[in-house]
Amino acid sequence: MKRVHDYHEFLIECLKDPEEAAGYLNVAMEDGDRKMFLIALKNVAEAHGGLVELSRLTKLNRANLYKIFSEKGNPEMQTLVQILDKFGLRLAITQKEQKSSAKKTTRDIKRKAA
């Protein structure tokens, strides 16, 4: 069991770096599993002082934070943005990579026709 504990300590230490935390949360979000994303977000919170500290920083009720990070947690967008802000992070939307270069967008077709 020591290995798991050592890994968790290592993970938490790494997540203190905003760039590492951002990458970690992006991977968790790409998985599409809300529960896994909330676990990842909770790990980032732990790296930044835990839920008590997060409650103090965000002015969100500590009991509500525990509910948000529970298995049935479902934070509102505004709450998620507020939490991420305290970690020095933000949400961003990016375009998916196209799997096939053979697929042409309407814009590509119009551009070639012009």
Give the pLDDT confidence of 52-90 residue by residue, as tens digits: 999 999 999 999 999 999 988 999 999 999 999 999 999
Q: Please, what is the Cα angle at 26 between 85 and 54, to 5 degrees? A: 30
- This prediction has a pTM of 0.77
111/95 Cα distance (integer angstroms): 20
State residue 10's pLDDT score: 95
